[in-house]
Amino acid sequence: MMQLQTSTLQLFETSKQERQAFVSDLIAKVDNGLTDPLKVHLQLKCLEDIVKQMTSNVVFKDILLNEASKMGKSFEYQNARFDIKEVGVKYDYSRTGDPIILELLEKQEELDKKVKARQEFLKTIQSEGQEILIGDEVIRVFPPSKSSTTSVSVTLK
């Protein structure tokens, strides 16, 4: 098992300006051919995965909240401000006993399904369009416009 030394983590204890300088320097090295862009991208993807695993780990989150609670609701620590607060608040209206909200939510679900079905239909139309009958009027409809960005995808093993 790989041992993570605390000195490795200290690389991330930087100010905003230091992080910006690091990024600028790294981009310059890639741009000048001094650093392999594929290797840098792979390392960044690995770093993203490490961050995701740590921040979603229940044990780590509990330990972090316990330690932060010792400092109060808001505190400064090294080069950052920490705040303990409620995040991701969700409301469940199904148990309110309010028939109006329940009816509206049901209608919303039905409408969402109809919109999704219509979107799927419009995706099947050829670029020259298609004539359809709406009521007693014939109109020409076209497929939705589509845009995308080309990117490099990495799957970590």
Is pTM, for the whole model, over 0.85? no
Residues 78 and 101 in one domain: no
Task: Please answer whether residues 126 and 143 qualify as being in contact, where contact means their C-beta atoms are separated by less than 8 angstroms.
Answer: yes
Residue 146 lies in a domain: no
Residue 153 lies in a domain: no
Residue 34: half-sphere exposure toward Cβ, Cα within 13 Å: 7
Residues 77 and 102 in one domain: no
Give me the residue label for tokens 């020409």. Answer: 140
| Predicted pLDDT of residue 12 | 75
Cα 102–106–111 angle (5° rounding)?
Answer: 145
Residue 61 lies in a domain: yes
| Predicted pLDDT of residue 5 | 56
Question: Which residue from 86, 85, 67, 87 is spatially nearest to 77, judged by alpha carbons?
Answer: 67
Q: Which domain holds residue 28?
A: 12-83
Could you tell me the sign of the dihedral formed by the alpha carbons of 115, 116, 119, 121, in that order? negative
Lookup: tokens for 76: 């400064």
Residues 34 and 73 in one domain: yes
Residue 2 lies in a domain: no
36: phi then psi, degrees, rounded to nearest 5: -75, 115
Say which amino acid occupies 53: Q
Residues 113 and 79 in one domain: no
Name residues of the chain where pLDDT drops below 50: 1
Residues 79 and 19 in one domain: yes
Whole-angstrom distance, CA of residue 114 vs CA of residue 145: 20
Residue 112 lies in a domain: yes
Residues 79 and 101 in one domain: no
Q: Strand, coil or helix: what is 140? A: strand
Task: Please answer whether residues 69 and 76 qualify as being in contact, where contact means their C-beta atoms are separated by less than 8 angstroms.
Answer: no
Residues 108 and 74 in one domain: no
Report the number of distinct structural domains present in the chain. Answer: 2
Task: Please answer whether residues 113 and 107 qualify as being in contact, where contact means their C-beta atoms are separated by less than 8 angstroms.
Answer: no
Q: What is the pLDDT of residues 142-151, one digit of tens each?
A: 999 999 999 9
Residue 19 lies in a domain: yes
Count of CB atoms within 10 A of residue 40's CB? 14
Residues 78 and 27 in one domain: yes
Residues 25 and 75 in one domain: yes
Q: What is the pLDDT of residues 7-38, one digit of tens each?
A: 666 677 778 888 898 899 999 999 999 999 99
Residues 23 and 79 in one domain: yes
Residues 16 and 77 in one domain: yes
Residue 89 lies in a domain: no
Residue 155 lies in a domain: no
| Predicted pLDDT of residue 8 | 65
